[in-house]
A and B are shown apart, each in its own frame.
Chain A
Amino acid sequence: MAILVAKKVTKRFGGLVAVRQVDLEVKEQSIQSIIGPNGAGKTTFFNCVTGFYNPEEGDILLEGKPINGLSTDRVAKRGISRTYQNIRLFKNMTVVENILVGMHPHLRSSILGAIFRNSGTRKEEAEALEESLRLLRFMGLGGTGDLFAKNLPYGAQRRLEIGRALASKPKMLLLDEPTAGMNPSETHETMLLIRRLRDELGITILLIEHQMRVVMGISELITVLDYGAKIAEGLPAEIQRNATVIEAYLGRGSAEGIMASTTPSQPSGTASSA
């Protein structure tokens, strides 16, 4: 069953159509990827799903209920959580605090509860703290909880961002280039982690990714965008052989030469430019 359905979503910026009539279905507990050249509208599509942008046309349904037009905080409360292409942690807060902020949708204590620190608030805070620490250990960040987020090494910052997104116990996680800027071993670990999120926590994952090794390695379904429109969709093996896709990446005429290669996109695969 599809957890997320996008129907003919269109987002314009002035005359530019950033996302054009995109249809997308994400099956529950699947790992699905969106790929495409730079400027294809992948991140804009994410922004439409999370409510940061309000698409001009089309519908976005989460578990059958429309979420387009909702503000990002409402969408987050419905169970969609995300990470960012360029890491956007709360840099001057500690690692634990970052996770605790992520837990926000589940914290109920009121302002008066906070001032008088009644038993309910104390219990809630203690539980939230315990859970954050558990989550940190799950993410391999145990022991770093009291560091400022900005002082973590790059790879750990990426993991913390995923951890923060997990803290809200989302049904669905949108990862925007989770392996950007990582070395091969870190990339491999991130792939394992993404699988664990699905297998152990049952979270549906939709990711944007440039590294074809990652895309082909973990995706169950791949959607390809180019100039805002969906140009292909299919299993990894199908996408690898799809002539339109190769053309979109490398330009007309280069399709034949690349057909044999399993890692077709070196030019856009290594760098993680915006």
Chain B
Amino acid sequence: MNTETSSPWKQALNNGLISGVLCLLVMLVGLVESFGDTYIISGMITLGEIVLLAPVVLLTYTALRSATNSSRRTMVGISAIIGLISGCIISAFILLCQVVDLRFMFVNASPALFNLLMRGVPLPLGALIPPLQCAFASLVTLGIYLIPSRLRASVVQGFLWVVVFGTLRDQILIIDLFKIQPFSFILTRFVFASSGLSLIGALFVFAISAGLAYYLRGRKNRPAVIRSARVQKRNRIILIAILALIILSLPYALGLFYSEILDTTGLFIMMGLGLNIVVGFAGLLDLGYVAFYAIGAYTMGVLTSQLGGLTFWQALPFALVAAWLAGIILGLPVLRMRGDYLAIVTLGFGEIVRLLALSDWLKLYLGGAQGIQQIAQPIIGPVAFNSLQKLYYLILIGIIIVAFVAWRLKDSHLGRSWMAIREDEDVAQAMGINLVLTKLLAFSTGALFAGLAGTLGAAKLTSVYPHSMTFIVSINVLVIIIIGGMGSIPGVFVGALVLVGLPRLLSEFQEYQYWFFGLALVVMMLFRPEGLWPEARRKLELHEAEGSIEPPITETVSTGQ
């Protein structure tokens, strides 16, 4: 008995300390202050407070989860302790800053931040505010934790959606569709305030999302209705049609701001699909992938600006061939290298290409730091693809082609050879796989896809600069693949939406983009190393059994005993 009661308290102490330190981290990075005036619910809760209290809530929850069997009173104690400790750490830091000036180290530890943390109460008394606030948060967490499970999940979802909608107020109101009258009136009048949701709006969002979550959870528990194959197929077609319709209407329904995000995300998806072949399928770590994008973009630039004078479509094949050749040229010398060496050489290649573009030597052709302007945009018949919205469709077609090719290659014997090389290069070769040829195919196919993305990217901006071809872009594409799931094609889409789409959507967060990248990577590696949408292997044997009339296999040569 004794050991059982002592451990939750120890855990509470631990979690309290951790959450206190996390709170400090969050406020010292500047998150709390910069979101201090972004209201979630107008006049009541700011995003800054949510971010500050998030560690408290999370760690209270984990402590409670491991103390499930404790009495109600113990649970209250645990929550209170965690909240109070975190709050005290914050207060202690504030008091410390009164005595010692720490701003040379922590730039964000400003009086304004402290004022925010103490909710405007002057000091001696104000120091009590953070502990009370944190204890309040952890006790609310306890309250929610004690609700029965189905209801609890709905309540949590309700809260989450309120936070999401509150944060995204500006982004929602900017949507073209919502500028149309009935929507616009309802949204600005009732749902949203000048910053964040209005109280009515918040209740409304909470009720709808919690109710929906409750209903959906109930449905999931009911036994599945068995539908005939025909009905299933029909439902699938309807679903695909609706999805296609939504995807096609996106740029015009959402407007210019979102079209920019969609286009950029699309270009990253294309690059991700290409790099996925190199890194995900064949296991060749390429850190200079942006070079191929640059080569595609610059070839397009040189050929269609004043120097070349070609149209987009005339220049396209040249740009693609240039990128493809670059893939082979890089591929040939580095094929014998493995792992780390390959990564370093490709990194160097990426930098060489960028520096060449920047150099005085080629300035006459590539424009040096200024890059190339007035790149032609594609024209098909009477339609000039001269806006972000129109280019969306070209990028979409590009993605479809690239994804289709990647998918077909993955399921071919070439795809299997790539995976075999990824798994064990020596054995793959001993199976008769020509390493040079197979790796070259991976490199050049990946380069080709990036080249295509480059041409469309050049057409989108009508200009190219060496400064947009930095190492960090290569890393960005790589992280997309890792977060999405190595070797997984749908994973690239998910990864690009999360890592490219979301940060651009939340422009306030842009400053903290890499902070969140790092956090996302660490969390992923700890809890979901296979990625958000992991690669699935095809079921070949089962598939075969379905198709053939062969009787089930009974013959077994040897089964152990």
Contacts A72-B429, A90-B424 hold; do A143 and B435 have CB atoms under 8 A apart?
Answer: no
Set of chain A residues within 8 Å of B441, measured between Cβ atoms: 111
- Chain B 418-437 near chain A by CB (<8 Å), digits 1 or 0: 01100110111111111100
Name the contact of B433 in the complex, choosing from A101, A133, A185 (C-beta under 8 A): A101
- Chain A 24-56 near chain B by CB (<8 Å), digits 1 or 0: 000000000000000000000000001010000
Q: Contact check, A101 vs B560: say whether CB atoms are below 8 A apart.
A: no
Interface presence of A65 (CB below 8 A): no
Interface residues of A in 37-90 (CB under 8 A from B): 50, 52, 71-73, 76-77, 81-82, 84, 88, 90
Q: How far is the CA of A88 from the CA of B426 in the complex (A)?
A: 10
Q: Contact check, B430 vs A73: say whether CB atoms are below 8 A apart.
A: yes
Set of chain B residues within 8 Å of A116, measured between Cβ atoms: 408
Name the contact of A115 in the complex, choosing from B408, B541, B555, B558 (C-beta under 8 A): B408
Name the contact of B432 in the complex, choosing from A73, A88, A111, A133 (C-beta under 8 A): A73
Contacts A50-B430, A73-B433 hold; do A101 and B417 have CB atoms under 8 A apart?
Answer: yes
Residue from A77, A97, A109, A148 with most neighbouring chain B CB atoms (10 Å): A97
Set of chain A residues within 8 Å of B434, measured between Cβ atoms: 73
Name the contact of B427 in the complex, choosing from A77, A88, A92, A136 (C-beta under 8 A): A88
Name the contact of B540 in the complex, choosing from A71, A121, A139, A146 (C-beta under 8 A): A146
Interface residues of B in 515-560 (CB under 8 A from A): 537-542, 544, 553, 555-560
Q: Contact check, A84 vs B427: say whether CB atoms are below 8 A apart.
A: yes
Interface presence of B416 (CB below 8 A): yes
Interface presence of A130 (CB below 8 A): yes
Please report whether the interface of chain A is mostly helix, strand, loop or mixed according to DSSP.
Answer: helix
- Chain A 140-154 near chain B by CB (<8 Å), digits 1 or 0: 101101101000000
Q: How far is the CA of A192 from the CA of B405 in the complex (A)?
A: 45
Contacts A138-B557, A140-B556, A142-B556 hold; do A90 and B427 have CB atoms under 8 A apart?
Answer: yes
Interface presence of A107 (CB below 8 A): yes
Q: How far is the CA of A132 from the CA of B544 in the complex (A)?
A: 11
Q: How far is the CA of A145 from the CA of B426 in the complex (A)?
A: 23
Q: How far is the CA of A159 from the CA of B538 in the complex (A)?
A: 22
Set of chain B residues within 8 Å of A111, measured between Cβ atoms: 409, 412, 414, 441
Q: Contact check, A155 vs B560: say whether CB atoms are below 8 A apart.
A: yes
Q: Contact check, B555 vs A142: say whether CB atoms are below 8 A apart.
A: yes
Name the contact of B431 in the complex, choosing from A71, A117, A168 (C-beta under 8 A): A168
Name the contact of B414 in the complex, choosing from A73, A88, A114 (C-beta under 8 A): A114
Q: Which 5 A-B pairs have the closest CB atoms?
A: A145-B541, A114-B412, A140-B557, A76-B432, A105-B432
Using a CB–CB cutoff of 8 Å, the interface residues on chain B facing chain A are 404-405, 408-409, 412-417, 419-420, 423-424, 426-435, 441, 537-542, 544, 553, 555-561
Using a CB–CB cutoff of 8 Å, the interface residues on chain A facing chain B are 50, 52, 71-73, 76-77, 81-82, 84, 88, 90-97, 100-105, 107, 109, 111, 113-117, 121, 125, 128-130, 132-133, 136-140, 142-143, 145-146, 148, 155, 164, 168, 185-186, 189, 192-193
